[in-house]
Amino acid sequence: MLNLLPSLLLLSLTTHQDTATTPPADELVRNGGFEWVGEKPPTVDGLKDAVGWGNVTLGLSELFSRESKEKDVGIPVNLYGTMEPFEGEHYAGFFAWKDDQRRNWEGGTEDPFKPGWSVYSEYLQSELVKPLQRDSTYELVFRVALSANSDRAV
């Protein structure tokens, strides 16, 4: 049995400069809602198709689209379960943690599952539109939902 922790990033990852004397500044994260896409995601591991987004590790995150012909990355039903976007036609998904276990076929008094090769995680990243300024206050806003097919939470 694999222990999966897929999560769905549902909305804009937005950063606003916010001080008492100035109104909120422009968003500092390009394409925070994952709406600008180079092509419709053909299959899993498609985060690279969202303009401005990439992967941090060797684990490749997903881009989900209402327009996708591939049901694994479709909306609302996909590989991670059933989820509507908070807004727009896309969202990103990632495994925050996956325990790579293998079945213990020897049985006996041992645990029915043995550790596998490794644990697995996926993370996503985006470059800010402009650098953060010293002595400024920023607000980071994002929406994350636990996947319906997840068996644990962080």
Cα distances from 69 to residues 41, 60, 72, in angstroms, run: 8, 20, 9
Distance CA 61, CA 147 (A): 14
Whether the model clears a pTM of 0.75, i.e. scores above it, the answer is no
How does pLDDT run along the chain (154 residues), one tens digit per residue?
344 444 444 333 344 444 444 445 578 888 999 999 988 777 889 999 999 999 988 889 999 999 998 899 999 999 989 999 999 999 999 888 776 665 556 666 666 555 655 677 888 999 888 998 999 888 888 888 888 887 666 6
Burial of 121 per CB tally in 10 Å (0-12, 13-18, 19+): middle
What one-letter code names the amino acid at 104? N
Confidence at residue 103, expressed as pLDDT on a 0 to 100 scale: 59
Closest CA relative to residue 10, chosen from 31, 34, 27, 29: 34
pLDDT of amino acid 111: 62
Predicted local distance difference test score (pLDDT) of residue 139: 85
**CA nearest to 149, candidates 47, 1, 4:** 4
pLDDT at 61: 92
- Give me the pLDDT at residue 48, please: 92
Q: Name the pairing type of β-strands 53-55 and 14-17.
A: unpaired
